Structures are given as structure tokens and as C-alpha cells.
């Protein structure tokens, strides 16, 4: 519909046209406490007129209450938005701010200087194009400067703007500036940071931020803003080979599947031949859906949906590639680790690893060394503690398609999560994959579960009995085991109470310990299933999520949940071990059904209502189920 | 009779929308008005869009029972548009949830119902019925009203349906404590946010592991600015509530703010009288708590130009944000979105 352009239309068209030519620069400020990070950003926001009237008046009133500048405007308060930060006058977490000049738009993250909050600095550094490293001209390069710079090198931040701040407090001394720059280059060069630009500034007064400093006529380089506006930070991901970590499988109306994800690198076009990793299957791109509708091609950074020409099995965590030389498929990797958790690293413990869209279990097999931040020298170590950087080898519980971090941030960066506390334990960058999947004993064993099961002439599975204490789980499980043995089956009963004397002897009955109890029994059951056995477990297992997690760790059909359902009044009447009596008296804390919840299964494979059948009848029913479903 | 200042754009209700709630026209700016200058969505907006869609898909893949908070405002409109894109041509894999405080503008509710019908998505409307029985006057007790009818109501709804992830449209440029929040933000089983213990968020990797009862708030628009939202609405032709466009509407002046008289529940204080003014809203919430601005901006280009040249921030019209220092952080810790 034709319509004349109004002045607003024309203004907007001009704004949008300019915006199209202005890719955003993501940068961070880092360095030690009080080197002036927040002040620098405040100055940039103020001088670029990104602050609005009500924000300025709020800043003035906040400065009177919280400020550290004797009632003058304290720019740090623009960013230190948390109450605790204002009260303590420190930065705890990253603040993201957005501003634009005529030439460019910026997303800036102000990061904490305290060593305690290094994990938050790492968060911001992982997505930065450029880092402004601030150094106090009076103090020079200090430990936190070294730590932050090391992390920048580790995370592949290629551009550093070294801002030597508070030049006014060293009488704008050119020699002092030169000495600090030399020291910093000595630090950054071995870390492989290719582009370092050094600028002497006074953030509080604005010298060499937007305006050239009259006091430092000896300096003839760019101002901070000149450099930020003009620095070229081209992403190399567009020119690399095509990689798409599959994020989500979309069921298309009318049949078929679309594989969704954000392209990590390269280009893709309709008709391209793609390989799926780790499976190695191949197909062609039939169609491609982008945010702007169906297109012939797409490139790195775009979120797309790919429809393949053939029915191939593709799921979340798989990686699609094109051309020759796909991603590495590894069961073992060597990597640098930055430890982020107060809980130190424990060798041999299984962490949850996330890399690309893949999740795997990972054990730190060996720790080769730890880096001394002061000297940058490496030394042998057996563990890593908070903020340590180390290098080691990780064993994965399944093969994973990945890349070295040098080649791909998306497929080479990973995190480790503590299974018990769910805290993010470490950030890692893959150095290289150590072996191909085919060499990894976890994956390609000559004697597999299937081979063992065939020899035993049965389908291995877990009969997971759950129910209140005294419901009859152990009684029924014992009867089932006897019947199975008499039928010539290979089976083993894991009894909850008995396991608590040995394997789980270190655990109590608090919720977290119950969960760990469950997890261990689940893992043991899984191993026995792998050994080809029919496993019976008899423990209360009160939490639905825990049971579902164990189910999820097994293959379909391997987890048979049996709810031994007995009303609590009946359990209490039976009270075979006297537990209820003691719980009622308060002698047992956290007793399920009395002081701790029991969550019954929503849809158990088998329901044994013991008020309507004897234990013998229940056992016969369970064995009947296994025969009917052809477990043997 | 009504007065209209300035040109009446196509699709604009002839009378102030407040007086004709049955006559809401969903405005598709591009189709009706033609796209000024034929501008395409810029590389900058496309990058934001790709990131948001990535985050939305991540929620669908990683949680067993996600929900999207739908507050009817412009940010929710953008979020809904992105969610439809993220999963097209399939249906949304999660429902929408609107927490109805009972004091939203009538135009908002009419717009909501029309959008839901058009898109065929599932919407859950939740109201804190116990709270409603207290008949809290939002104008007299803004903090209490917000706490009971918004924060508590949201927690009720999340608990009742067992949602483990709630997607919201909050942006980091809105407010200082939001500028600090992660895109995937953990909540305890009491829905509390602990700003001192946020999970690190490296690259595009999210630690989404939860204990039973815990949940995650997810903010796919974290890196969008107010200007980005308006540009995107314009370029993509996303329908928004008519209250964003200037029209002559009945208002009173109260505590330096213009408050629209949306129905007869607003009790006038001594000296207050209802006037008709050409106004629009920059954000939308409960009508007694949402300040209007005088404006002649009746088209999207007018609004965008006006917004970009404004010297006041967006949430300035929200009466609840500055009721005490660090008030947003406090509300967020307690479970407010």
C-alpha cells in the first residue's frame, strides 16, 4: 500500500541503514581491584551520552549515599547494581551495558577484579571480541593482571587494549608508561595474544578516553574510543568447514524431521552432502529454514533448521559436517582447565561434561600440571583448587564429536558440572583429542553387552523395586531371585539395607545422601546389566527424579520399575525392623513416610498391591511379566 | 466525540481504544503501512534473533516442563514472535502463562485473547484468588499489590503446574540489577535468586541441572536494547497493544505521573480531575501503576524516533521500581520476574 514517507520514516530509515553497517563489538574490562574498570565504563557511557536524565539523577543521589568520591558522581555505581556491591564498594558479578556511537554499537561487560570472583570474569571473557586490561600506573602489572591476561590467552581473546590508568597520579610520566607496556608485552606474548594496543589514560578525568590528553602530548596513538570504534575483529568461523551441533529435533507436521541448531562454522547450501557425527552416516540437505524463511544457503552464526533427504538417525548432541575431514570423534581429550568451584578437583570422580550440545560423563584421568600465575611456569599437581589453571587428560563415557578450541570455540570449549552439588566446577578448552572413538575401550569392546547377554540367553535388565519401608520389597525380590535361578537365569539382588553396610556405609539419610545412595546403586545396577545380568534392587528409593535419572541412563526396556504398594498404616503395623516405632519416637530422623516424603511412580511397569496379593503371587506375576516380554 | 491530534494511521481505531475494547485492531505495521525505505532486518538484529532462538531451543531441549511468561507488552510480543520462529513449522513445545493481576488495561486483555486465537498457542491464565479476595487497592498499596498479585501469584502458578523453566522477556538494559543477571538464572525451591552465587555462563554452555523443586528463569532477550525491540517490531511487522500508540485518552495527574482512567475502579483523590490528553505508554503494567507520556506518536516510526531521542529511561513510568533503593533486586530475590 503506497504511503508517503513522513519525516519520522526518513529519520528511521537513516537510523536503520546506519545500524546495518554497525556490527556490535563485545568487549570486557578487566584487571585488578581499584584499577578503575567501572570508572572507565562509566566515563564511556557518560561521554557517549548513553545515560538518560533519570538515570543520571539516580546516579547523583546514589553517589551521595554509596559513593566513594566524597559526594561527587561515582561512575562505578552505574554498574555495581547489586546491593551487596554498593555496600562493600566492590564488583561481584559482571554487568552488561549497551551503548552506541555514530560509528559502532557496543556490548560491554564490566568484570570483577577480586580473585574470589574470577569465575565471573571468565564468564564475560568467553564471549568477548576484545578485552580492555586496566593497569594502575602507580602499581604496574600485578597478580590479577597476570591471571586475567592468562585467561584471555586461554579463551582466545585476540585483541587487548592495555589501558594504563591514573596517569595523572604519576605526573603523566612517559617512561613509567613505557615500562608498564614492556612488562605487559613480556606477559602477553607467550600467551599467544596477537594484538595489543597500549594507551595511557586517566579514566576519572577523561584523558585519552574520548578526548586527546593535553597533558600527554608525548603520546600520539589513538584514544580509547578511536581504537574501540575502528578495531577489526573479524570472526574466522565463517571461512572454516561447516559444523552444526544439533540442538533440537523438530517433528515436522506431515512427517519428517528438522534438525535445529546454530551453525558453529562455515556455510551450508541446499544439496550439500552432510555427515553425521559420531555415527558417520551421510545424507544431503533437502531444505533449509532460516529466521527469514526458506533459503538456499546459510552461514556461521545463524540459527537454522535443516531437513535431510534421507531418514538417518540424528539426535541432540550430534554434529553435522560437510566436505572432507569432519570433527574429531573422541573418547579421550587433553585440555586446559580453569577451576571455578570452591570444592577442589577430585581425580577419578565423574563430572557432567557439556560441550557443544553434547552431554557426557567425564573423569579427569591424569593431571599433568598446574600453572603458577606469577611465573607462568608449570609444576606437577594432584588437584586443582578455586581459580587454578591446569592441564590434563579427560576420559569420556561416550564418544563425542568435538574440535580443538583453536579451531572452534563452539565445539572446543566445555564445562564440567559437579553431579552432587550441581555447581559448575570448571571451564575447559580442548587442546586435542587423544584417540579416535574406535580405540576407546568404553565404546568398542570386542565383548559387548549383547555378546554376554547372548551367552546367558537372556536380555539383561534391572527390576527396580520401590516402596515404603516394610512394604515387602526385599521379601518379594528374594522370591523372584529364587524363581529366576531355578529357571536357569543369571541374576543378582542388590538389597538397600545390605549395601548400606559396605558400598554406601558412608552415607546417612538426608535427602542429598539418599540421592547419592540411589545414584551409586543405579551405577552398580548399570554395570551388572552391562555384564549381562538380570539385576534386582530393593531399596525405598523415595524420589521420582532419581529413579527417572537411572531409567534415563539405561536403554529402553532395561529399567523395569516395580511399585510395591502398601498403605503406610499397614507397613507400620508390620514394622518388621521396628523402624516406624523408633521414627515415631523421634529416634530416626528423615524416615520415609514419617518425616521424609515418598514419591510413588507415575507409571510403573509393574504394580504389586500387597493388600490384594501374597508375596508369592507378586513374585509369580513379576516372573510372568519377564517371560511375556521375552526377557528370556 | 473524540479528538485525534495528528494523522490517523491505517488500522488505528477511530476512537480511543480504551472506550472501545471490543474494537481492537491488531496492527501489522509492515503490511498496512508499507515498510519505510524497504529496510531489511540488519545484521545486528539478525545476530540478536539467532541468539534468542538458540536460547529458546535450548530451553525446550533441556527442561522437562518449560513455560513462557506472557505479559502482553512489547517485549512479550517480540519473545512470542521469536518462539514461533524457533519451532516453526511445528507448534510451540511449551504453553504461555499470563499472571493476571486483575488490574491490567482492558486493551491488553482483549489483545492477548486475540493473539492467542490467531496463533493457536496454549495459554494458561493464573490469578491469585486468595489475594484477589483481599481487594488490595494498587494505587494505595503498590508494593503489597505487586507482591501479592504478581510475585506470589507467579510462584503459585509455577508450583501448581510444576514448571522447571520459566522464559521471560527481561532485558539487561532495563535496570542495574538486571544488567547483572545471567541468561539462564537459577532459582531455589523457594523461587529465590541469589545474586552472589550465580552460575558461571561460559560460551553458549548452560548448567541447567536442577534438584527437585528448583527452577530456572531464562531471558532470551538479555542482550536486546529498547531500541532493538522497537526496530524489530517495525521490521518484522509484529502486532502490539494499541496503548503504545498515542491517542486521546482519559487521564489524571498524580504524583507527577499521568495515570489513565481505564475503568471506574480508580478512586480519585481530592483535587484530581479526569482530563483528555494525547498520550501513549512506553511500558505496560497494572494501569493505576503505569505512567503515560504525552505524545503525538501515532505510528511506529514516530514512536521509534521519539524513543531514540528521549532523555528518560523506559522504566521511569513504572511506579514500583524506585519505591526504595535496590528495589528491583529485592523483588527479584523474592521471585519477581
* pLDDT of B7 above 80: no
pTM of the model: 0.75
Task: Look at residue B286 and tell me whether its pLDDT is greater than 60.
Answer: yes
Whether B297 shows a pLDDT value over 50: the answer reads yes
- Domain A449-628: CATH class, spelled out: alpha beta
Q: Is A322 a catalytic residue?
A: no
Give Cα separations from A153 to A194, A251, B286 (angstroms): 9, 42, 49
Given an 8 Å threshold on Cβ–Cβ distance, is B196 in contact with A92? yes
B232 lies in a domain? no
Query: Does residue B253 belong to any structural domain of this protein?
Result: no
Contact B207 A422 (CB under 8 A): yes
Positive or negative: CA dihedral A239, A240, A241, A245: negative
Give the Cα-Cα-Cα angle A513, A517, A523 (nearest 5 degrees).
Answer: 140
**pLDDT tier for residue B337 given thresholds of 50, 70 and 90:** low
pLDDT tier for residue A374 given thresholds of 50, 70 and 90: confident
Report, at the CATH architecture level, how domain A328-439 is classified: Beta Barrel (2.40)
More confident residue, A349 or A126: A126
- pLDDT score of A76 more than 70: yes
Residue A435: predicted pLDDT: 55
2.40.50.140, 2.40.30.10, 3.30.450.30, 3.90.1580.10: CATH of A237-322: 2.40.30.10
- Range of A98-107, A253-262, B307-316 with top mean pLDDT: A253-262
C-beta atoms of A82 and B53 within 8 A = no
B205 touching chain A per CB within 8 A: yes
Please give the torsion angle defined by the CA atoms of residues A130, A133, A134 and A140, in that order, rounded to the nearest 10 degrees.
Answer: -160
Question: Which pLDDT score, from 0 to 100, does residue B314 have?
Answer: 67
Instruction: Give pLDDT, residue B180.
Output: 86
Residue B205 within any structural domain of the chain: yes
Among B205, B214, B311, most A C-beta atoms within 10 A, so best to mutate, is: B205
Question: Hey, is the C-beta of B235 within 8 angstroms of any chain A C-beta?
Answer: yes
Residue limits of CATH 3.40.50.300 in chain A: 8-230, 449-628
Averaged confidence pLDDT in chain A: 87
Domain-embedded: residue B241: no
pLDDT band for position A334 (cuts 50, 70, 90): very high
pLDDT of A438 > 80? The answer is no
B213 touches chain A (CB under 8 A): no
- Residue B248: CA atoms inside 13 Å, Cβ hemisphere, count? 12
pLDDT above 90: percentage of residues in chain A = 50
| Higher pLDDT, residue A297 or B314 | A297
Query: What is the tens place of the pLDDT at every residue in A28-60?
Result: 999 888 788 888 888 888 888 777 777 778 778
Binary contact (B301, A92; C-beta < 8 A): no
* Distant-in-sequence, close-in-space partners of B133: CB < 8 Å, separation ≥ 6: none
A83 with B235: Cβ contact below 8 A: no
Look at A107 and B223 and tell me if their CB atoms are within 8 Å: yes
Question: Residue B37: pLDDT band by 50, 70, 90 thresholds?
Answer: very low
Which positions in chain B touch A80 (Cβ < 8 Å)? 176
Do the domain assignments include residue B317? no
The ipTM value here is 0.84
Residue B138 has pLDDT above 70, yes or no: yes
CA A630 to chain B, closest CA, distance in angstroms equals 31
- CATH superfamily placement of domain A8-230: P-loop containing nucleotide triphosphate hydrolases (3.40.50.300)
- Note whether B37 contacts A: Cβ–Cβ < 8 A: yes
Cα–Cα distances in angstroms (integers) from residue B71 to residues A271, A552, B141, B219, B240, in the given order? 42, 35, 21, 14, 12
Strands A424-433, B275-280: pairing is unpaired
Flag if A354 and B311 touch (Cβ within 8 Å).
no
pLDDT at A446 over 70: no
Mean pLDDT of A546-558: 89
Over residues B147-171, mean pLDDT:
94
Q: Does B312 touch chain A (CB under 8 A)?
A: yes
Nearest to A54 among B51, B180, B313 (CB): B313
Cis peptide before B272 (omega within 30 of 0): no
* Domain span holding position B179: 43-227+325-333
Is B65 in CB contact (< 8 Å) with chain A? Answer: no
The tens digit of pLDDT for each residue in A468-523 reads 988 899 999 999 998 888 777 889 999 888 888 888 888 888 878 888 888 899 99
| Average pLDDT of the residues in B288-316 | 84
Inspect the interface and report whether the beta carbons of A93 and B204 lie closer than 8 Å: no
Higher pLDDT, A610 or B10: A610
C-beta of residue A467 within 8 angstroms of C-beta of residue A560: no
Instruction: Tell me, yes or no, whether B304 lies in a domain.
Output: no
- Compute the distance between CA of residue B169 and CA of residue B52 in angstroms, rounded to an integer: 10
Which residue in A98, A237, A253 has the most chain B C-beta atoms within 10 A of its own C-beta, making it the best mutation to test that interface? Answer: A98
Each as own residue / partner, the long-range contacts of residues B157-160 (CB below 8 Å, 24 or more positions apart, any chain) are B157/B97, B157/B99, B157/B124, B157/B126, B158/B67, B158/B191, B158/B215, B160/B126
Answer whether B34 touches A (CB < 8 Å).
yes
Write out the three cell numbers for A500: 548400606
Distance between CA atoms of residues A328 and B243, nearest Å: 54
Residue B280 forms part of a structural domain: no
pLDDT, tens digit, 9 for 90 and up, residues B199-211: 999 999 999 999 8
For testing contact with chain B, the best of A8, A156, A289, A551 (most B CBs within 10 A): A8
* pLDDT given for residue A501 in this prediction: 83
Give A96's contacts in chain B (Cβ within 8 Å). Answer: 172, 179-180, 222-223
Which residue spans of chain A are classified as CATH 2.40.30.10? 237-322, 328-439
Burial of A419 (0-12, 13-18, 19+ CB in 10 A): middle
Q: Which of A53-67, A445-459, B3-17, B244-258 reaches the highest mean pLDDT? A: B244-258
Contact criterion met (CB below 8 Å) for B53 and A291:
yes
Q: Is the pLDDT of residue B86 over 50?
A: yes
Give chain B's domain count: 1
Helices (H) and strands (E) in chain A, counts: 18, 28
Q: Give the separation between CA A539 and CA B17, rounded to whole angstroms.
A: 63
pLDDT at A464 over 80: yes
User: Minimum mean pLDDT among A109-123, B13-27, B270-284: which range?
Assistant: B13-27
Say whether B90 and A123 touch across the interface (CB within 8 A): no
Q: Which residues from chain A sit within 8 angstroms of residue B212, using beta carbons?
A: 543-545
Q: Is residue B11 part of a domain?
A: no
What is the C-alpha to C-alpha distance for residues B152 and B155, in angstroms, rounded to an integer?
A: 5
| Rounded CA separation A499/A474 (Å) | 13
Nearest residue to B106 (alpha-carbon basis) of B308, B261, B218: B261
Residue A1 burial (10 A CB sphere; 0-12, 13-18, 19+): exposed
Q: Does B120 touch chain A (CB under 8 A)?
A: no
pLDDT given at position A46: 82
A597-620 per-position pLDDT tens digit = 889 998 899 999 988 888 999 999
pLDDT above 90 for A257: yes
pLDDT at B316: 59
Higher pLDDT, A446 or A340: A340
What CATH number does residue B172 fall under?
3.40.50.620
The closest alpha carbon to B168, from B261, B69, B96, belongs to B69
Q: Is the pLDDT of residue B70 over 80?
A: yes
Residue A155 pLDDT > 70, yes or no?
Answer: yes
Distance CA A70, CA A64 (A): 8
Amino acid at each position: 500500500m503506497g504511503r508517503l514517507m513522513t519525516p519520522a520514516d526518513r529519520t528511521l530509515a537513516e537510523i536503520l541503514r546506519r545500524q546495518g553497517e554497525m556490527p556490535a563489538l563485545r568487549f570486557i574490562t578487566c584487571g585488578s581491584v581499584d584499577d578503575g574498570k567501572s570508572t572507565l565504563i562509566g566515563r564511556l557511557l557518560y561521554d557517549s551520552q548513553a545515560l538518560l536524565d533519570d538515570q543520571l539523577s539516580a546516579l547523583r543521589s546514589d553517589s551521595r549515599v554509596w559513593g566513594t568520591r566524597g559526594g561527587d558522581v561515582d561512575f562505578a555505581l552505574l554498574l555495581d547494581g547489586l546491593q551487596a556491591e554498593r555496600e562493600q564498594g566492590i564488583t561481584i558479578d559482571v554487568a552488561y551495558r549497551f551503548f552506541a556511537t555514530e560509528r559502532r554499537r557496543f556490548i560491554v561487560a564490566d568484570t570483577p577484579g577480586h580473585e574470589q570472583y574470577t569465575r565471573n570474569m571468565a564468564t564475560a571473557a568467553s564471549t568477548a571480541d576484545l578485552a580492555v586490561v586496566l593497569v594502575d600506573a602507580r602499581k604496574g602489572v600485578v597478580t590479577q593482571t597476570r591471571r586475567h591476561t592468562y585467561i584471555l590467552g586461554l579463551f582466545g581473546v585476540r585483541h587487548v587494549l592495555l589501558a594504563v590508568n591514573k596517569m595523572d597520579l604519576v605526573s603523566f610520566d612517559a617512561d613509567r608508561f613505557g615500562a608498564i607496556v614492556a612488562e605487559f608485552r613480556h606477559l602477553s606474548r607467550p600467551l599467544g595474544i596477537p594484538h595489543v594496543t597500549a594507551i595511557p589514560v586517566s579514566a576519572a578525568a577523561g584523558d585519552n578516553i574520548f578526548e586527546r590528553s593535553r597533558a600527554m602530548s608525548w603520546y600520539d596513538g589513538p584514544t580509547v574510543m578511536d581504537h574501540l570504534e575502528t578495531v577489526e575483529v573479524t570472526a574466522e568461523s565463517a571461512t572454516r568447514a561447516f559444523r552444526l551441533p544439533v540442538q533440537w529435533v523438530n517433528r515436522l507436521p506431515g512427517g519428517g524431521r528438522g534438525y535445529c541448531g546454530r551453525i558453529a562454522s562455515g556455510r551450508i547450501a541446499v544439496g550439500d552432502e552432510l555427515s553425521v557425527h559420531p555415527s558417520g552416516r551421510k545424507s544431503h540437505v533437502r531444505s533449509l529454514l532460516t529466521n527469514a524463511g526458506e533459503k538456499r544457503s546459510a552461514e556461521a552464526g545463524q540459527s537454522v533448521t535443516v531437513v535431510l533427504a534421507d531418514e538417518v538417525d540424528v539426535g541432540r548432541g550430534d554434529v553435522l559436517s560437510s566436505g572432507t575431514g569432519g570433527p574429531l570423534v573422541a573418547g579421550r581429550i587433553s585440555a586446559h582447565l580453569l577451576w571455578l568451584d570452591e570444592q577442589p578437583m577430585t581425580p577419578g570422580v565423574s563430572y557432567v561434561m557439556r560441550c557443544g550440545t553434547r552431554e557426557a560423563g567425564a573423569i579427569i584421568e591424569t593431571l599433568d600440571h598446574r600453572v603458577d600465575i606469577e611465573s607462568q611456569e608449570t609444576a606437577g599437581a594432584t588437584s586443582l583448587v578455586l581459580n587454578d589453571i591446569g592441564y590434563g587428560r579427560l576420559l569420556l563415557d561416550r564418544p563425542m564429536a568435538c574440535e580443538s578450541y583453536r579451531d572452534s570455540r563452539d565445539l572446543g570449549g566445555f564445562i564440567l558440572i559437579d553431579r552432587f552439588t550441581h555447581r559448575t566446577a570448571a571451564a575447559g578448552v580442548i587442546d586435542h583429542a587423544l584417540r579416535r572413538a574406535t580405540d576407546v575401550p568404553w565404546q568398542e569392546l570386542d565383548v559387548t553387552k549383547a555378546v554376554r547377554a547372548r551367552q546367558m540367553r537372556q536380555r539383561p535388565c534391572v527390576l527396580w523395586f520401590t516402596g515404603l519401608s516394610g512394604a515387602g520389597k526385599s521379601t518379594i525380590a528374594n522370591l523372584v531371585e529364587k524363581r529366576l535361578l531355578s529357571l536357569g537365569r543369571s541374576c543378582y539382588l542388590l538389597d538397600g539395607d545390605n549395601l548400606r553396610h559396605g558400598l554406601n556405609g558412608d552415607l546417612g539419610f538426608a535427602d542429598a545422601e539418599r540421592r547419592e545412595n540411589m545414584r551409586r546403586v543405579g551405577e552398580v545396577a548399570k554395570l551388572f546389566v552391562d555384564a549381562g545380568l538380570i539385576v534386582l534392587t530393593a531399596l525405598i528409593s523415595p524420589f521420582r527424579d532419581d529413579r527417572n535419572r537411572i531409567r534415563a541412563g539405561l536403554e529402553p526396556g532395561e529399567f523395569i520399575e516395580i511399585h510395591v504398594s502398601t498403605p503406610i498404616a499397614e507397613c507400620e503395623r508390620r514394622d518388621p525392623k521396628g523402624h516406624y516405632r523408633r521414627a515415631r519416637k523421634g529416634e530416626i530422623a528423615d524416615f520415609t513416610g514419617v518425616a521424609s516424603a515418598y514419591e510413588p511412580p507415575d507409571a510403573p511397569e509393574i504394580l504389586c498391591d500387597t493388600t490384594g496379593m501374597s508375596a508369592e503371587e507378586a513374585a509369580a506375576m513379576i516372573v510372568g511379566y519377564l517371560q511375556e516380554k521375552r526377557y528370556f | 466525540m473524540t479528538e485525534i491530534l495528528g494523522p490517523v494511521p491505517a488500522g488505528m481505531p477511530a476512537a480511543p481504544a480504551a472506550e472501545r475494547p471490543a474494537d481492537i485492531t491488531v496492527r501489522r505495521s509492515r503490511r498496512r503501512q508499507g515498510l519505510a525505505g524497504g529496510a531489511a532486518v540488519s545484521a545486528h538484529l539478525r545476530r540478536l534473533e539467532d541468539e534468542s532462538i538458540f536460547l529458546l531451543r535450548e530451553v525446550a531441549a533441556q527442561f522437562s516442563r518449560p513455560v513462557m511468561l506472557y505479559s502482553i507488552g512489547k517485549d512479550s510480543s517480540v519473545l512470542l514472535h521469536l518462539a514461533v520462529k524457533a519451532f516453526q513449522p511445528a507448534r510451540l513445545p511449551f504453553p504461555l502463562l499470563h499472571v493476571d493481576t486483575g488490574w491490567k488495561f482492558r486493551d491488553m486483555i482483549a489483545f492477548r485473547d486475540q493473539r492467542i486465537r490467531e496463533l493457536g498457542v496454549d495459554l494458561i491464565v493464573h490469578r491469585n484468588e486468595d489475594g484477589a479476595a483481599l481487594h488490595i487497592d494498587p494505587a494505595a498499596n503498590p508494593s503489597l499489590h505487586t507482591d501479592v498479585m504478581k510475585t506470589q501469584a507467579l510462584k503459585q502458578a509455577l508450583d501448581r503446574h510444576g514448571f522447571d523453566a520459566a522464559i521471560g522477556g527481561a532485558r539487561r538494559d532495563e535496570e542495574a540489577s538486571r544488567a547483572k543477571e545471567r541468561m539462564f538464572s537459577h532459582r531455589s525451591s523457594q523461587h529465590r535468586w541469589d545474586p552472589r552465587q550465580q552460575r558461571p555462563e561460559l560460551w553458549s554452555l548452560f548448567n541447567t541441572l536442577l534438584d527437585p523443586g528448583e527452577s530456572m528463569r531464562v531471558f532470551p532477550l538479555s542482550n536486546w536494547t529498547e531500541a532493538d525491540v522497537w526496530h524489530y517490531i517495525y521490521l518484522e511487522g509484529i502486532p502490539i497493544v494499541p496503548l503504545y500508540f498515542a491517542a486521546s485518552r482519559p487521564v489524571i495527574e498524580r504524583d507527577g505521573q499521568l495515570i489513565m482512567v481505564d475503568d471506574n475502579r480508580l478512586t480519585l483523590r481530592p483535587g484530581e480531575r479526569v482530563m483528555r490528553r494525547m498520550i501513549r505508554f512506553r511500558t505496560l503494567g497494572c494501569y493505576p501503576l503505569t505512567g503515560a507520556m504525552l505524545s503525538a506518536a501515532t505510528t511506529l516510526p514516530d514512536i521509534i524516533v521519539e524513543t531514540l531521542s528521549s532523555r528518560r529511561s523506559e522504566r521511569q513510568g513504572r511506579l514500583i521500581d524506585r519505591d526504595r533503593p535496590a528495589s528491583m533486586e529485592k523483588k527479584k530475590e523474592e521471585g519477581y520476574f
